[in-house]
Structure 1
Amino acid sequence: MSFHTPTGTRGARFPLPAPVVRLVNRFTARRVRSTGGRALMGGMDVLVLTTVGAKSGEERSTPLAWFPGGDGTWLVVASAAGQVRNPAWFHNLAAHPDRVRIELDGQRIDVTAEQLHDDERARAWADLTAAGPQFGKYAEATDRELPVVRLRRRPDAA
């Protein structure tokens, strides 16, 4: 269950200042919670990912597009819109992969996070960029490999 994706040397600039992003994320998370997250972001389904801060230990919630990962799992991409660095939620997952929760369809589900690597990542990447072509554009904007993370329901949460 290793999490490792180095920071890139080039990447897109995020078009909004951090306070605006936090406001949009709060609004989107509320909307996901009230609607179940169906087709919210550019026609893609959205979940709310709650992680535990790597340094702060506080819960942090982020709305993310998700894709079916097979066997009842969910896939998310740490794209940060093609920025040079991985998003903060990815670092939180790396620090605490077993202290993660998602919300979708009116449910709160405890999950475990696992970064996909090598052939498994390549297969998932092909599927999710076919379903969400903007992720391919994000990948072109940076020289870092965008991490793909599988979220699997924790057995004790079933």
Structure 2
Amino acid sequence: MPIDFNQHVIDEFRANAGRVGGPFEGGRLLLLTTTGARTGARHTTPLGYLPDGGERVIVIASAAGAPRHPAWYHNLVANPRVTIEDGTFTYEADAVVLAGAERDEIFARAVEADPGWAEYQAKTTRTLPVVALKAIDGGSPEGRPGDALKAVHAAFRRELELVRKEIADSGPGLGAQLRINCLTLCQGLEHHHAMEDGGMFPHFERAVPELAPAMARLREEHRTVKRLLDELSALLAAERPDREVLLAEVERLTAALEAHLDYEEEQLIPLLNG
């Protein structure tokens, strides 16, 4: 992509917490900053990515099927330490070029989710590299603590919106990548709630005793969301989950989570920002 187009996307991404229009609208996008293999200069590129569970995401060096690998790929081969911006967090990661069966399995997942990857591969004689970006620190949102919490919530809302659309648009079967998208969301929510239960909530209970009823309600809502996440995970483990049943479970989760996030923001953001 032309440099000026890339810069427009980068500016829009940073101004809108990761949301952009144009060809990336409605998709998963990150900003990858690499160190130049020859110059040592820092270069930022917008890229679509695939969730991969845990602490890593996947990018593919397609260059839209061009005959040569993109510059960002050469950079990270020479300097694997990269910086990722996902619209909420900015963090350091190590890039690993996948090979063999692992590369082929993940590329097949990508093609199943979006046949455009196969079209790019068909345009070139090179094998499109598949790269795992493994986080080495969690990063943190910028701004006041309450604004940071709201940004994290917005990221969960957006990912849930994407997953709901992907399930609604899927065929009778459930693709491997879509399963991973769902499970990655489940893992992220469980981790976030565990951090709140173990840290932020006890702090507020000590500092503001009159918040005890609100903290009790939030903890109970965490248990409700956990139950819904467990039920969703069980459905995803089935060989051929029913799409309509799965979508209904995601809708139940969405309703419960939206109500929980709204209440938590109402109760905690004024205190966190105060």
Q: TM-score, normalised by structure 2?
A: 0.47
| SS in structure 2 of the partner of residue 126 of structure 1 | helix
Relative CO higher for 1 or 2, CA cutoff 8 Å, sep ≥ 6?
1
Match for residue 114 of structure 2 among 132, 146, 154: 132
Q: Which residue of 2 aligns with 1:92?
A: 75
Two-structure CA RMSD over aligned residues (Å): 1.9
Distance 1:130 1:36 in 2: 28
Distance 1:39 1:32 in 2: 6
| SS in structure 1 of the partner of residue 80 of structure 2 | coil
Match for residue 47 of structure 2 among 34, 41, 64: 64
User: Is residue 11 of structure 2 the alignment partner of residue 30 of structure 1?
Assistant: yes
| Higher helix residue share | 2
Instruction: Give matches, 1:1-158, under 5 Å.
Output: 21-38=2-19, 41=24, 43-98=26-81, 100-155=82-137
The structure-2 alpha-carbon separation of the partners of 1:45 and 1:36, relative to structure 1 and needing over 3 Å to count, comes to farther
| Higher strand residue share | 1
Runs of 4+ in 1 over 2 A off after TM superposition: 34-40, 155-158
Task: Note the alpha carbon deviations across 1:60-85, whole angstroms, 9 max, x for none.
Answer: 00000000122231100000110110
Distance 2:98 2:128 in 1: 11
- Which piece of structure 1 moves more, 80-89 or 132-141? 132-141
Return the offset for 1:106. Answer: 2.5
Tell me, yes or no, if the aligned pair for 1:34 and 1:106 is still in contact at 8 Å. Answer: no
Q: Tell me the percent identity.
A: 36
Tell me, yes or no, if the aligned pair for 1:39 and 1:45 is still in contact at 8 Å. Answer: no
Tell me, yes or no, if the aligned pair for 1:47 and 1:64 is still in contact at 8 Å. Answer: yes
Gaps of 5+ in 2: 141-274
Distance 2:114 2:16 in 1: 21
Q: Which residue of 2 aligns with 1:10?
A: none
Tell me, yes or no, if the aligned pair for 2:34 and 2:76 is still in contact at 8 Å. Answer: yes
Task: Note the alpha carbon deviations across 1:82-138, whole angstroms, 9 max, x for none.
Answer: 01100000000000002x001012221100000111110111011111222211100
Tell me, yes or no, if the aligned pair for 2:9 and 2:20 is still in contact at 8 Å. Answer: no
Is the radius of gyration larger for structure 1 or structure 2?
2
Q: TM-score, normalised by structure 1?
A: 0.80
Tell me, yes or no, if the aligned pair for 2:80 and 2:94 is still in contact at 8 Å. Answer: yes
Which letter maps to 1:46? L
The structure-2 alpha-carbon separation of the partners of 1:31 and 1:113, relative to structure 1 and needing over 3 Å to count, comes to same
